[in-house]
A and B are shown apart, each in its own frame.
Chain A
């Protein structure tokens, strides 16, 4: 359902992403790992339209989405979360997700209806899904870090994506929060029939839930396979896993 063909981006002289090619099947849960500076987040920014690639092609459900602006890509059914928490801090938790749902239903241009109780059911459902149902009245910026990360996923779900890109969803979380988040991601993937692609540093998370793992190094994908294959891969051992220790 999602194909990336030879995507390349350089900043000045630095080749940040170099001819990356991969393909995601419908419902696949996979991850991208790689040392810092490998170009993972840049790749995400290319896939979601945040920056335009120099060359290459991105196909989503057989449609060419290369170079479209983020809001158009989002409308096609690709959602994302961010590495650094990226929410609407002074709005309530409920409003954070509600605005995404309203946008998905193309209600945001309406200037005369009352927004207050709009899409309450859908919003509550998403908030319950990410475990923030009882905190929905709180101001989002006052949530604990872990909860803000969950809200981040909630906002992304508000756009009812078919493909969800998660940029380090467990960054900065305690091991306990991390486990909860992993469970959540697994539940989401099954329950909502989502195709998931995430960047992750935590190896337990990566090998715990991915069906496919891709390893990026210096802007290129150097290995691709099941978690077992990646664990056994000598090159990966050398450049990545060794760095962990």
Chain B
């Protein structure tokens, strides 16, 4: 721990910074054209999904190749409820993350029995299974036509209102995740990431904790899917596609997996890059490939990791450094 005074000033600075960012997001609709606002909305929902994935990826050290599967479970649950039933929008929205969490219990139960690349491949396989079900079960999910024109309450019809709605949900979810990663459970996950074998010998049931991380992660991925379903008013099988999973992984790596806000930074940069580059060239995937290459070779901690390293190095040169993972 640092000296209390310095600690407090550091906390005040952090809170001040967060408030400034939040105010920034709040006033965006005042001057941003609707097209761009839409993009920012996509950005914050992607940030939520990536942060959800990062609970498992960055904190627990479990590399999943199939986060999009759970994201799609959330999106489709909400969409199907709104399409086939008359239940209120709010309930359909909550049903998304809940069913994604339930799906995670089942999928995770199998996946945590494996480690490393086998774990990753099994998560990919499950996501592809979800994709196939959604794609082929035409009578129920409308296959590749997707479910379109999903009803949302009148006050959420406007892009600006839905943006505020997303912002509130994303902030609540991020606050919950912040709480989780700083809890004893969150610390235990980090220990697990560092050394699963040792964690077992301090009395931790490794698989149970990995499964818990998987389910929490699935819950937030599902929440992001649900939220996006309401925003887009359409859902398609490609929500579960491995390309979508890759996108989430790249966002995490781009921002930095060892930093809580890394995936948020990652999603902002990713969406902006996407927007800017696709306006110049149709070869966006090529540029993306180069970005990933540069990232893995030169910026392993991601953008947020790089910044926080510089900041803590700066602080350390004042003789008061503390490194926080």
Interface residues, chain A, CB within 8 Å of chain B?
Answer: 48, 69-71, 74-75, 79-80, 82, 86-92, 95-96, 98-100, 102-104, 107-118, 137, 139, 155-156, 158-159
Contact = CB atoms under 8 A, between A and B. Distances in A.
A88 B201 contact: no
B183 A89 contact: no
A15 B209 CA distance: 35
B184 A118 contact: yes
Given A71-B203, A74-B201, A108-B204, A114 B183 contact: yes
A100 B202 contact: yes
B182 interface: yes
B183 A103 contact: no
Contacts of B205: 69, 71
Interface stretch (B85-93, B112-120, B189-197, B259-267): B189-197
Contacts of A91: 187, 190-191, 194, 325
Contacts of B18: none
A95 B201 contact: no
A115 B186 contact: yes
Contact of A116 (B182, B188, B203): B182
Nearest to B194: A88
Nearest to A81: B201
B315 interface: no
Given A87-B198, A111-B183, A102 B188 contact: yes
Contacts of B180: 111-112
Given A89-B194, A91-B325, A137-B322, A99 B203 contact: no
Contacts of B184: 99, 102, 107-110, 113, 115, 118
B179 interface: yes
B313 to A, nearest CB: 13
Interface string B249-287: 000000000100000000000000000000000000000
A158 B185 contact: no
14 contacts: A70-B200, A71-B200, A75-B203, A80-B201, A86-B198, A88-B190, A99-B191, A100-B202, A100-B203, A103-B204, A111-B216, A114-B183, A137-B1, A159-B203
Contacts of A156: 201
A75 B201 CA distance: 9
B291 interface: no
Residue among B180, B185, B197, B202 with most chain A CB within 10 A: B202
Given A102-B184, A112-B183, A115-B186, A88 B195 contact: yes
Contacts of B199: 88, 99
B194 A113 contact: no
B169 interface: no
Contact of B201 (A48, A110, A115): A48
A179 B182 CA distance: 39
B196 to A, nearest CB: 10
Contacts of B187: 91, 95, 98-99, 102, 108, 115
Interface in B3-51: none
The residue among B180, B204, B206 with the most chain A CB atoms within 10 A of its own CB is B204
Contacts of A118: 184
B54 to A, nearest CB: 15
Contacts of A48: 201
